[in-house]
Amino acid sequence: MDSLLKNAFSPENFRQQAHNLVDMLADYLVQAQTKELTTVIPYKDPKESLTFWQKDYEESKGDVSNFFQQAIALSTHLHHPHYMGHQVNPPVPIAALAGMLTEMLNNGMAVYEMGLVSNPLERIISELLARKIGFSNEASGLLTSGGTLANLTALLAARAAKTDVWDEGNTEKLAVMVSEEAHYCIDRAARIMGMGNAGIIKVPVNEQLQIRTDLLETCYQQARDEGLHVIALVGSACSTSTGSYDDLEALAAFAQKHKLWFHVDGAHGGAVVFSEKYSFLVKGINQADSVIVDWHKMLMTPALATSVIFRRNDDAFRTFQQKAQYLWANQHSKDWFNSGKRTFECTKLMMSVKIYAILKAHGEQIFSENVTYLYDLGKTFATLIKTRPNFELAIEPESNIVCFRLVNRGMAINDLNAHIRKKLLEEGKFYIVQTTLKDNLYLRVSLMNPLTTEEDLIALLDEIERLATIIDL
């Protein structure tokens, strides 16, 4: 074997490098948790960042240890209590170790021979989540890479259940009904499926940004009058912008009345099925035909890992019925252990191993405690905001997503809050994002870190008020 290749696969080199990396990551956890690490996001202009890494590539080949250290230092630090940005969790450490395991083993999952461990674990995890949702033993599902792909998979299953498009091609104009606050990937999925603008029926929302169930019949009949075949209704649990939950019971009743496929996008908020305190938010979810839940949002798993759960497991096998003789002999058999029959992905990551490692190390109680604590923290933050006359809430939060803004200055409120967000990004002490609701710009936090406390939220509000005094518009 060539000396370069032999060295690359050296067990002793790997042992040393792995020990060094784990030490670095453990130090990072200490620094983040104690706030010795003062920046949450070491933001740089994209061009400046590109220039830095181009220079690094040219000057320090072979120095992997330095590269790892730089990658840690220059990344956004999700484990810092002041990380309150996007809906991605700080992974629990045992899942990261499982990630090292799966990356080294590199087994795919399309066929059982390549997924000897991950396919059985995927079934265990799918059936656990199905029970939490309230489905019967007839239910099961699969894991896939993220909510966008999961929602598309579920809607393709809906199409397979309601039409003959897979075999016959498009013979009619299909449509889905969604909230106007639904995640953009629902819109994208419908377009990928050839429905176009007309096939995406966006139902208006109420003041809490929940789908208006009183308008469902009107929207449905109008679509029918326009020659559309509505195949599915999508409920949000919860919406991305504000964390608002649709009335799933009312949506289920409407879907049953009109024989529509009822799908629940629970990418973020479906995780409340693990929380006794907050599971009431998804009352009616057990009447859905399909549900998705992201493990990498509220369930402490590294991205990407999303479950697609079907109330009737047979529906999972209708979606991608086709021949692949080199993978499996019988294309029609419903064998759960050949996951490629039910997903887009062939060489699928061993994502089930990471989730199972968390369950094995900590039990499902850790999911309950995480969801409950972070949702409680969202309510705490809303209370803090209401005690300060300079701030206002967009809506009363139902989850750990809170939208608010500063209103006390005699200037354009949208501009003021946009500049505050920009300053926070540049200084890097806190990381939050922004959203626009009915033409009004709001600051937005997603409280994803269970080590974030009320004191951190007070510090954020103090910092925003300080920045407002120095911003010159």
Q: What is the CATH number of the domain that holds 167?
A: 3.40.640.10
pLDDT for position 336: 64
State whether residue 232 is helix, strand or coil: strand
From the list 48, 44, 34, 103, the residue with the least C-alpha distance to 73 is: 44
pLDDT for position 324: 43
Residues 349 and 205 in one domain: yes
Please name the helix (run of DSSP H) or strand (run of DSSP E) that holds residue 174, with its range, or none: strand 173-179
Q: Rounded CA gap, 110 and 450, in Å?
A: 35
> For residue 209, what are the contacts with CB-CB under 8 A and spacing of at least 6?
181, 239, 241, 242, 244, 395, 437
- Is 102 within the bounds of a domain? no
pLDDT for position 327: 46
User: What domain range includes position 377?
Assistant: 10-41+76-91+367-473
- Is 375 within the bounds of a domain? yes
pLDDT for position 328: 42
Residues 318 and 447 in one domain: no
> For residue 213, what are the contacts with CB-CB under 8 A and spacing of at least 6?
247, 250, 251, 254
Residues 269 and 173 in one domain: yes
Residues 313 and 333 in one domain: yes
From the list 293, 206, 200, 298, the residue with the least C-alpha distance to 250 is: 206
Backbone angles phi, psi at 311, to 5 degrees: -60, -35
Query: pLDDT tens for residues 96-136?
Result: 999 999 999 999 877 788 889 999 999 999 999 999 999 99
From the list 16, 32, 21, the residue with the least C-alpha distance to 97 is: 21
Residues 82 and 218 in one domain: no
pLDDT tens, the chain, 473 aa long? 578 899 899 999 999 999 999 999 999 999 999 999 999 999 999 999 999 999 999 887 777 889 999 999 999 999 999 999 999 999 999 999 999 999 999 998 777 888 899 999 999 999 999 999 999 999 989 999 999 999 999 999 999 899 888 777 777 899 999 999 888 889 888 898 889 888 999 999 999 999 999 999 999 999 999 999 999 999 999 999 999 999 999 999 999 999 999 999 999 999 999 999 999 999 999 999 999 999 999 999 999 999 999 999 888 877 665 444 444 455 555 666 666 666 767 788 899 999 999 999 999 999 999 999 999 999 999 999 999 999 999 999 999 999 999 997 667 899 999 999 999 999 999 999 999 998 899 999 999 999 999 999 999 999 999 999 887 75
DSSP 246: P
State whether residue 288 is helix, strand or coil: coil
> What's the CATH number where 459 sits?
3.90.1150.10
8 Å CB contact between 269 and 378: no
pLDDT for position 201: 95
- Return the ∠ at Cα 58 (arms to 53 and 63), rounded to 5°: 85
State the alpha helices, DSSP H only, in 176-280. Answer: 184-192, 216-225, 248-257
Residues 136 and 201 in one domain: yes
> For residue 48, what are the contacts with CB-CB under 8 A and spacing of at least 6?
none
> For residue 366, what are the contacts with CB-CB under 8 A and spacing of at least 6?
92, 300, 358
- Return the ∠ at Cα 300 (arms to 299 and 301), rounded to 5°: 100
* Count of domains observed in the chain: 2
Residues 435 and 320 in one domain: no
Residues 194 and 324 in one domain: yes
Residues 441 and 314 in one domain: no
